Chains A and B, each alone.
Chain A
Amino acid sequence: MAEEYVVQMKGITKVYPNGIAANQDVDFNVRKGEIHALMGENGAGKSTLMKMLFGLEQPTSGEIWVNGEKVNLSSPAVAISKGIGMVHQHFMLVPSLTVAENMVLGMVPKKSGLFIDQKKAVEITEEYSRKFNLEVDPNAKVMDIPVGMKQKVEILKALVRGAKILILDEPTAVLTTQETTELFRELVNLKNQGYTLIFISHKLNEIMEITDRMTILRGGKSMGVHETKDVTAEEISRLMVGRDVVLKVQKDKAQPGDEVLRVRDLEYVNEWGKKMLDKVSFSLRRGEILGIAGVEGNGQKELVDMLFHLNVPNAGTATVNGENILGVSQRKIREKGVSLVPEDRMLYGIAGAASIQENMIADRCGSKRLNKGPMFDMKSIHAEVDQLIQDYTVLCKSGSQRVDNLSGGNIQKVVVAREFSNNPCLIIADQPTRGIDVGATEFIRKKLVELSRAGVAVLLVSADLNEVMELSDSLMVMCGGRIAAYFEDTSELSDEVMGEYMLGLKRQTPEEVRRVCHE
Chain B
Amino acid sequence: MNEKKAMQAARRRSLTFTLVRGAAAIGIALLVAAVLIFVSADGDRLAHTGEALRQLLIGPLFRSNGSINVKNICDVLAAMIPTIFTGLATCVMFSANQFNLGAEGGIMLGAFVSALFAVYVPLPAGVLPVVAVLAAAAAVSVMMLIPAVLKAKLGVSEMVNSLMLNYVVMYLIKYLLNTHLADKTKGQIQSYPFQEQARIAPLIDNGSMLTWGFVIALIFVVLTSLFMYRTRWGYGIRMIGINQDFARYSGMNVAAIVILSQVLGGALAGIGGGVEMLGRYSAYSWNALPGYGWTGITVAILAGNNPAFVPLAAFFMAYLNKGCLLMSTYCGVPSQLIDILQAVIFVFFAAKQFLAKYRQRLVVKGAQEELAAQKAAAAEAAAETAEGSVK
Contacts and interface: CB of A to CB of B under 8 A. Distances in A.
A21 B371 contact: yes
Interface stretch (A228-236, A239-247, A368-376, A483-491): A368-376
Nearest to B233: A374
A349 B367 contact: no
Contact of B7 (A310, A340, A348, A397): A397
B251 A354 contact: no
Nearest to A365: B232
A308 B249 contact: yes
Contact of A331 (B10, B253, B366): B253
B251 A363 contact: yes
A330 B248 contact: yes
A1 interface: no
Interface string A362-397: 110110000100111010000000000000000001
Contacts of A351: 239, 242-243, 246-247
A376 B4 contact: no
A96 interface: no
Contact of B252 (A347, A362, A398): A362
Interface string B55-96: 000000000000000000000000000000000000000000
B85 to A, nearest CB: 22
A170 interface: no
Interface string B228-251: 001110011011001101111111
A330 B251 contact: yes
Given A348-B245, A375-B230, A354 B239 contact: yes
Contacts of A365: 232, 235-236, 252
A376 B251 CA distance: 18
Contacts of A397: 3, 6-7, 10
Closest 6 CB pairs of A and B: A362-B250, A334-B251, A351-B242, A348-B249, A331-B251, A351-B243
5 contacts: A15-B364, A21-B371, A308-B249, A330-B248, A397-B10
A329 B256 CA distance: 13
A362 B7 contact: no
Counting chain B residues whose Cβ lies within 8 A of the other chain, the interface size class is: 35 or more
A349 B248 CA distance: 11
Select the residue from A16, A19, A375 with max chain B CB neighbours within 10 A: A19
Contacts of A335: 251
B364 A60 contact: yes
Contacts of B230: 375-376, 378
Contacts of A18: 10, 363
Nearest to B255: A329
Interface residues of A, number: 41
B204 interface: no
Contacts of B7: 397-398, 400
A94 interface: no
B226 interface: yes
Nearest to A310: B249
Interface in B285-327: none
Interface in B106-144: none
A41 interface: no
Nearest to B9: A19
Select the residue from B238, B246, B249, B253 with max chain A CB neighbours within 10 A: B249
Given A351-B239, A365-B232, A342 B10 contact: no
Contact of A330 (B13, B243, B249, B370): B249
Nearest to B235: A365
Contact of B367 (A19, A334, A362, A378): A19
B13 A362 contact: no
B366 A19 contact: yes
Contact of B245 (A19, A347, A361): A347
Select the residue from B3, B239, B246, B371 with max chain A CB neighbours within 10 A: B246
A400 B9 CA distance: 14
Select the residue from B245, B247, B360, B364 with max chain A CB neighbours within 10 A: B364
Nearest to B252: A331
Interface of A: 15-21, 24, 60, 308, 310, 329-331, 333-335, 340, 342, 347-354, 358, 361-363, 365-366, 371, 374-376, 378, 397-398, 400
Contacts of B6: 19, 397
A394 to B, nearest CB: 13
Given A15-B363, A21-B371, A352-B243, A366 B3 contact: no
Contact of A21 (B239, B250, B367): B367
Contacts of A330: 248-251
Contacts of B243: 350-352
A350 B246 contact: yes
B280 interface: no
Given A17-B363, A398-B3, A329 B253 contact: yes
Given A19-B9, A21-B367, A358-B239, 19 more contacts: A15-B367, A17-B360, A18-B10, A19-B6, A19-B366, A20-B367, A24-B371, A330-B250, A331-B251, A333-B251, A349-B249, A350-B246, A351-B239, A363-B251, A365-B235, A365-B236, A397-B6, A398-B3, A398-B7
Contact of A362 (B246, B364, B366, B371): B246
B21 interface: no
Contacts of B370: 19
Contact of A375 (B231, B248, B364, B368): B231
Given A19-B6, A331-B251, A366 B232 contact: yes
Contacts of B248: 329-330
B359 interface: yes
A60 B359 CA distance: 13
Interface string B359-383: 1100110111011000000000000
Contacts of B238: 354, 358
A168 B10 CA distance: 33
Given A15-B367, A19-B13, A354-B239, A376 B245 contact: no
Nearest to A422: B251
A351 B96 CA distance: 13
A354 to B, nearest CB: 5
Select the residue from B3, B253, B366, B367 with max chain A CB neighbours within 10 A: B367
Contacts of B251: 329-331, 333-335, 362-363
Contacts of A21: 367, 371
